[in-house]
Amino acid sequence: MNPVVHIMVAGQKALYDMFERATHQWLCPLGAGDELGRVHIDWIPAVAVESTIQRQMEHRVLVLEDDRFGEGLKTIDAIRRTGLGIPILLVTRPGATRQQLRRAITAGATEIIAGGASADQLAAALERAVVRAHTTFVGVHREGTSERILAVIGGAGDGFMTWTPRDDGVELSPAFRVQTGMELASDAELTLADWLARLHEDDRDRVRRTLQGVADGILPALDCHYRLAFGPSAYRWMLLRGRLDGAAGSGTVSAVQTDITAGSGVMGEVAAEGLRDPLTGLPNRVVLLSRAAQCVRERRTDESYQFAVVALDLDRFARINDSFGHVVGDELLRGVAKRLLRSVKAGDVVARTGSDDFAMLLTGIGSVADAESVVASVAEAMAKPFSLAGHQVFCSFSAGIVMARSRYDRPEELLRDASLALRRARSSGGDRSQVFETNMHMNAVNDQMTEILLKRGIPGDQLRLHFQPLFSIQGPRRLAGFEALVRWQHPTRGLLPPAEFIPIAEDSDLIIELGAWVLAHACAQAAPWISGLTNREGRPLVLNINIAARHFNHPGLLQEVARALEATGIRPENLQLEITESGLMDHVGIAIPNVRRLREMGVGVQVDDFGTGYSSLSYLTQLQVSALKVDRAFIKMLPENHAHMQIVEAIVSLARILGLAVTVEGIENLRQLNAVADLGCDCGQGHLLGEPIPSEEVEAWLDRHMKL
């Protein structure tokens, strides 16, 4: 005998009356009493919901009225925490916001019925709820379920799935395949991962854990909702309900997938919001991956089918935000979105995947050259200035391109490799595109391992400091100070120069930890000779320490500097921090106050690699830096390269106007030394003047060179 399905209405008596009428309206034409068992409807006070639910052991459907939005959510959450997988219909009053409705879905509402619903809508909602309550315990196998029940469930458009945890295999009904866009795949090829890949990334792990909990016998029944990609740009809410057939750990999970978006316009509108980037209106990452998954499946059946994924990132977007404000920055992102859309053909997808990150899915293309041609057209479109709030703003971008190959089984892999190619383009200076190469993935794996080992090596006493001398090159050549340079005593590769690990650290917050170590230890190791030479020669000797942009903009930097000075006794005027020109200008809004505070402390700030970035003269005056360091690229071909001579001369002239000192690096021969001295540069460093010296050898070096 089929069990009783209890519909419990918690709310005002008028709500119970409406649902009682709706129950009869649904049951009478359906004639489902013999197949679904008896349906009984009761009214209970809202305060008694939890205790009544716990005592009632038959099939249950809860209709919950929410007078004050928030109280109902607490009830839903309490019920879901017990593991009870009952359908919950939440009836909201008019005026509930989208944010509130999203919270209700997240809390575990099976369906939302907006205030003022018609009798037909109530009847349809009850029909779906009773069918779900029944199938939770009856099961969904054709051989174990009557044709009448299958007809009722199938008529509602639900799909059937069975999952065998032992081999991760799944069997899908035709309706389930249509719901998930998996019509072409055979059961022999399918695994649970193929279906999970269609779910929103924020729901995927939760659904997998729930299924595993049912398979292991930990959860009594399966009841979970999630967002499912549906076509190239659609998105729907689904409910999965079922049970374990067989013993825990060796049985099969049987489940019904129901499209709950179709039952409620409110939920459909809320779900649609999860598909679009609210700022630009572009599809989001979920839609991009959904469409890419379809392309992957199409390529499996037709290897001649070609498509590409392109990851794009705006160059120096943070500088635009700092310069003109976030309102202009948002307008720029909307303008970029429009130009990207005009650069692709119908059927392609343009998505916003991050703050200033975009991606394109280019379908039906013939070769890498075709993808590069599209990127070139994007570059041409972006080359024109954007007119934003009375400003002419220029914007360039970097791009990573990956072509679909047979090795790609998941869309996430394509986006990952496009991002790796984008990373290479950015590290090469930006404003360019890069096609993915297979060695990039291996390099990324190696970089990840390097980052892990470096993170262990910082507290593990594996870092070493070398100090390169700086000399005054105007008049008698005298020692002016040292630049601290970090090395890494790698556990297997020996002593590594900064180029081998600093760029990897700069891609994460590890550079902050590394920079803090260098700042503290460089001051501690250099303090004896910095203070001693200052006292003996009567002039300040400078210790230069490089600070990465991410570290310079970190809120704890000023405290770290103050602690290092106090702990070592080094005077502020003896310390000078070096940060690259691009590092300052990319975050000028943060850099200006940080430089000002350091200068108020008495600490110098030198712009490193000057001449290679895009400094604005107005910002250079606001930054109040103490010195400019000319990049070695301009020194390498002096004095023969006339253009480079003019650039260095212009930098010196600019520095004189601003009252700044000028240092040059990379001096390797006398001709270069004489050239920069004649141009008026103040200090220099390089192999000609002195190699970097291990910290333990600096004292001996000073004894030999005190007369310089």
203-230: per-residue pLDDT in tens? 788 788 888 888 888 777 777 778 887 6
708: confidence class by pLDDT, cuts 50, 70, 90: very low
Q: Which two tokens stand for residue 405?
A: 């190959």
User: Is 441 contained in some domain?
Assistant: no
Domain assignment of residue 289, given as a range: 285-436
* 387 SS3 class: strand
pLDDT at 498: 93
538: confidence class by pLDDT, cuts 50, 70, 90: low
Asked if residue 497 lies in contact with residue 489, where contact means CB atoms within 8 angstroms, the answer is no
Asked if residue 58 has pLDDT above 70, the reply is no
pLDDT at 698: 92
Look up the CATH number of the domain holding residue 532.
3.20.20.450
User: Is 278 contained in some domain?
Assistant: no
Q: Which two tokens stand for residue 151?
A: 């007809």
pLDDT at 29: 40
User: Is 33 contained in some domain?
Assistant: yes
Closest by CA to 629, choosing from 614, 612, 609, is 609
Domain boundary among 103, 120, 138: 138
Same domain, 425 and 455: no
Residue 2 is given by DSSP the state: P
The pTM (predicted TM-score) of the whole model is: 0.56
198, 261, 414, 424 from 448: Cα distances, Å: 28, 41, 19, 15
Least confident of 116-130, 135-149, 448-462: 135-149
Least confident of 156-165, 169-178, 500-509, 607-616: 607-616
pLDDT at 99: 65
pLDDT at 307: 92
Same domain, 547 and 492: yes
362, 432, 435, 504 from 422: Cα distances, Å: 16, 9, 8, 15
Least confident of 127-131, 179-183, 198-202, 629-633: 127-131
List CB contacts of 597: < 8 A, sequence separation 6 or more: 558
Look up the CATH number of the domain holding residue 410.
3.30.70.270
pLDDT at 227: 80
User: Is 212 contained in some domain?
Assistant: yes
Asked if residue 61 has pLDDT above 90, the reply is no
Asked if residue 578 has pLDDT above 90, the reply is yes
Q: Look up tokens 């594996």; give the residue.
A: 462
Read off the pLDDT of each residue in 56-60 and give the average, rounded to a whole number: 54
User: Is 443 contained in some domain?
Assistant: no
645-651 contacts at long range (C-beta below 8 A, 24 or more positions apart): 645/675, 645/679, 647/611, 648/676, 648/679, 648/681, 649/679, 649/680, 651/610, 651/611
Look up the CATH number of the domain holding residue 237.
3.30.450.20
pLDDT at 156: 47
User: What percent of the chain has a predicted confidence (pLDDT) above 90?
Assistant: 31
pLDDT: which is higher, 392 or 267? 392
pLDDT at 139: 46
Q: Which strands sit side by side in the sheet containing 169-172, from one edge to the other?
A: 169-172, 159-164, 252-259, 235-245, 222-229
Same domain, 42 and 160: no
Domain boundary among 85, 104, 138: 138
Asked if residue 664 has pLDDT above 90, the reply is yes
User: Is 442 contained in some domain?
Assistant: no
User: Is 279 contained in some domain?
Assistant: no
pLDDT at 398: 93
pLDDT in tens, 461-519: 999 999 999 999 988 888 899 999 999 999 899 999 999 999 889 888 899 999 999 99
Domain boundary among 253, 273, 293: 273
Asked if residue 603 has pLDDT above 90, the reply is yes
User: Is 15 contained in some domain?
Assistant: yes
Same domain, 299 and 254: no
Asked if residue 688 has pLDDT above 60, the reply is yes
Least confident of 103-107, 308-312, 433-437: 103-107
List CB contacts of 695: < 8 A, sequence separation 6 or more: 464, 465, 466, 467, 525, 526
* 269 SS3 class: helix
Average pLDDT of the chain to the nearest whole number? 80
pLDDT at 185: 61
pLDDT in tens, 317-351: 877 877 778 888 889 999 999 999 989 887 788 99
pLDDT: which is higher, 188 or 397? 397
Same domain, 418 and 456: no
pLDDT at 345: 85
User: What percent of the chain has a predicted confidence (pLDDT) above 70?
Assistant: 78
Least confident of 107-121, 415-429, 653-667: 107-121
pLDDT in tens, 503-525: 889 888 899 999 999 999 999 99
Q: Look up tokens 């060179």; give the residue.
A: 705
pLDDT at 145: 46
* 383 SS3 class: coil
Same domain, 390 and 459: no
pLDDT: which is higher, 156 or 352? 352
Q: Which two tokens stand for residue 563?
A: 């602690």
402, 436, 616 from 306: Cα distances, Å: 11, 15, 44
Same domain, 259 and 311: no
Asked if residue 173 lies in contact with residue 161, where contact means CB atoms within 8 angstroms, the answer is yes
Please tell me the total count of domains within the chain. 4
Alpha helices in 108-236 (DSSP H): 119-138, 147-155, 174-180, 192-196, 201-215
Gap between the Cα atoms of 111 and 131, Å rounded? 14
201: confidence class by pLDDT, cuts 50, 70, 90: confident
135: confidence class by pLDDT, cuts 50, 70, 90: low
Same domain, 115 and 172: no
Asked if residue 387 has pLDDT above 70, the reply is yes
pLDDT at 261: 65
358: confidence class by pLDDT, cuts 50, 70, 90: very high
pLDDT at 681: 94
List CB contacts of 636: < 8 A, sequence separation 6 or more: 666, 668
pLDDT at 275: 65
Residue 329, amino acid = G
